[in-house]
Amino acid sequence: MAQEGENEAKPATTSSSSSATAPKSVQQEMVTKSTMIPSTSWFTPKRLLAMFCVINMLNYLDRGAIASNGVNGHRETCTGGTCKAGTGIQGDFKLNNFEDGVLSSAFMVGLLLASPMFASLSNSVNPFRLIGVGLSVWTLATLCCGLSFDFWSITFCRMLVGVGEASFISLAAPFIDDNAPVSQKTAWLSIFYMCIPGGYALGYVYGGLVGNHFGWRYAFWVESVLMLPFAILGFVMKPLQLKGFVPADSKKVQALETVPLGVQDAGASNRNEETHEPSKPKQTNRILNQLSLFLKDMKELLSDKVYVVNVLGYIAYNFVIGAYSYWGPKAGYSIYNMTNADMIFGGITIVCGILGTLAGGLVLDYMTNTLSNAFKLLSLTTFVGGAFCFGAFTFKSMYGFLAFFALGELLVFATQGPVNYVCLHSVKPSLRPLSMAMSTVAIHIFGDVPSAPLVGVVQDNINNWRTTALILTTIFFPAAVIWFIGIFLHSVDRYDEDSEHQVPRVEGTTTSPLLEEKKTGGTLPSQSQEC
């Protein structure tokens, strides 16, 4: 027993020959065990992916529904003594255009504030439970959106929708990456992110249909009912575990713990009791420990050149995509006199978004999903796709524009799988939730949020939508250059790298790896099973 304990305490840097004969360390155990699931669970990797895709689609269906209401709703209008009643949220609450616009982006406040919080909490609370908490907040918030009574109440509810969505955005992708087959990781991520354009477009149609036939409140209530089963599932089933995070009841972990969260404070508390000195409140210590860990993780994340370069390219890319989604129809109407510009741009986004996203993941997996290959694909597709989009706006013919713009969108959407693959694999396992959260925060704060008003300023000064669109599209090229630089960086896939503080206080379960469920026959608990 003493020899076993010594072997378990060895660092993870032991040679491969010795690790083949010696008992596995906790670090090695966490390398082989990724996401954990009860051995008798109904879940399989594909079912988990399907569930997360449905949840992601519901998130973006909600975004599309609120955008649809913004287009279809209007205030009360009076002409010649005859008044026409307002419709939608804007008509019911008598909102001006600015207030109506705030509703479409209010969720972003909650999303940006809560994403880092949920990512940090994953160090001390089971990540799967956090998703359950977030979905519960989302369900309640959408329900309250339908019950709101004025501008401020619905704005607050929309912020809570963003809070609920934050946990899912930060934590879902790591779970998918853990469970995807090694040769199909990017394809699985692409399937997940394919739900973004599909969900948004579906929400646009859904919001219009439900709003016109039953009223805008019912659109929110139906969303709440649809999400409720997934929120409940996050609490009733035994929690999954993320790679790099082990159950708190693991005996090996307990034997190797040196200075995990809270232990140092416990030792200090014992010393205080012996000297009859008062100890600090446990809650204060826990908050301080959490903040200290968050700052340490942020420092490590920002010092990772591969991750930073990837996010910088993603910011520039999202700057263009965000402005396209907001100003594209108006530019198309102005340049080519498209009478149904919103439907045309929406259709191109749906088809090219779905096909391009899937193609990007499949191509990277075919190339062999490495960080260097991901940067090659990112830079090439963005550069060529940007060139097609740029060329599209030089056409005088609407049909030439549509053909080139569709090809460009098809290529630029191919980045979704690879860019998130880099976010997940350029950092060690315990930092993946934070890496996804900070990537989301960065691309919104510096990307699509400021791009729409800045493009508006450019158009106000130039007063030529063709020139404005060309200027905006050129930003694809700096994004391609930034990702091209990533090819030459020393990049190491850190998916199997051990973290220094991978012993969170999460709920323990008797589990086995999800992908090994059929191999093990579901008979061995994690504590007694060697992988």
Instruction: Dump pLDDT digits (tens) for 314-327.
Output: 999 999 998 888 78
Q: How far apart are CA 384 and CA 356, in angstroms?
A: 13
- Residue 317's pLDDT is 96
- Residue 78's pLDDT is 67
- Residue 200's pLDDT is 83
Q: Dihedral (C-alpha) 230, 234, 236, 240: value to the nearest 10 degrees?
A: 130
- Residue 387's pLDDT is 97
The amino acid at 403: A
From 150, 193, 234, select the one nearest 59 (Cα to Cα): 193
Give the mean pLDDT of 348-359: 90
- Residue 67's pLDDT is 75
**How would residue 498 be classed by pLDDT, with cut points 50, 70 and 90?**
low
Fold of 300-494: Growth Hormone; Chain: A; (1.20.1250)
Token representation of residue 202: 């579906």
| Whether pLDDT at 254 is above 70 | no
φ, ψ dihedrals at 492, nearest 5°? -125, 125
> The domain at 43-244 falls in which architecture?
Up-down Bundle (1.20)
65 half-sphere exposure, CB direction, 13 A CA radius: 28
| Higher per-residue pLDDT: 288 or 130 | 130
| Whether pLDDT at 279 is above 70 | no
Task: For the chain, state the CA radius of gyration.
Answer: 25
Return the minimum-mean-pLDDT range out of 180-194, 272-286, 448-462: 272-286
From 439, 508, 453, 47, select the one nearest 240 (Cα to Cα): 508
| Whether pLDDT at 402 is above 60 | yes
**How would residue 137 be classed by pLDDT, with cut points 50, 70 and 90?**
very high
- SS3 of 416-463: the string is HHHHHHHHHHCCCHHHHHHHHHHHHHHHHHHHHHHHHHHHHHHHHHHC
**How would residue 34 be classed by pLDDT, with cut points 50, 70 and 90?**
very low
Q: Using an 8 Å Cβ cutoff, are 227 and 131 in contact?
A: no
Q: Round to the nearest angstrom and report the end-to-end CA distance of the chain.
A: 20
Give the mean pLDDT of 60-88: 73
Per the DSSP assignment, residues forming a β-bridge with 241 are 36
**How would residue 211 be classed by pLDDT, with cut points 50, 70 and 90?**
confident
Q: How far apart are CA 220 and CA 379, in angstroms?
A: 39
- Residue 501's pLDDT is 44
Q: What is the pLDDT of residues 212-231, one digit of tens each?
A: 888 889 999 999 999 999 99
| Higher per-residue pLDDT: 5 or 387 | 387
From 379, 439, 437, select the one nearest 411 (Cα to Cα): 379
| Whether pLDDT at 20 is above 50 | no
| Higher per-residue pLDDT: 443 or 73 | 443
User: What's the chain's average pLDDT?
Assistant: 78
Q: How far apart are CA 177 and CA 179, in angstroms?
A: 6
Share of the chain above pLDDT 90, in %: 40
DSSP assigned state of 38: -
- Residue 244's pLDDT is 64
- Count of all residues that appear for the chain in the document: 531
Give the mean pLDDT of 516-531: 38
The amino acid at 417: G
| Whether pLDDT at 75 is above 80 | no
* CA 58 from centre of chain: 14
Beta-strand runs (E) in 291-332: none
- Residue 77's pLDDT is 67
Q: How far apart are CA 169 and CA 63, in angstroms?
A: 14
Give the mean pLDDT of 114-128: 85
Beta-strand runs (E) in 30-153: 36-37, 77-79, 82-84
Return the minimum-mean-pLDDT range out of 10-24, 55-69, 198-212, 330-344: 10-24
Q: How far apart are CA 46 and CA 50, in angstroms?
A: 6
- Residue 257's pLDDT is 39
Angle among Cα 231, 40, 228 to the nearest 5 degrees reads 10
DSSP assigned state of 196: H
Q: Using an 8 Å Cβ cutoff, are 41 and 237 in contact?
A: yes
Return the minimum-mean-pLDDT range out of 271-275, 386-390, 472-476: 271-275
Q: Using an 8 Å Cβ cutoff, are 148 and 157 in contact?
A: yes
Q: Using an 8 Å Cβ cutoff, are 91 and 75 in contact?
A: yes
For the whole prediction, is pTM greater than 0.85?
A: no
> Could you give the residue range(s) of every CATH 1.20.1250.20 domain in the chain?
43-244, 300-494
From 98, 110, 100, select the one nearest 68 (Cα to Cα): 100
Look-up: residue for tokens 């039953």?
214
3-state secondary structure of 461: helix
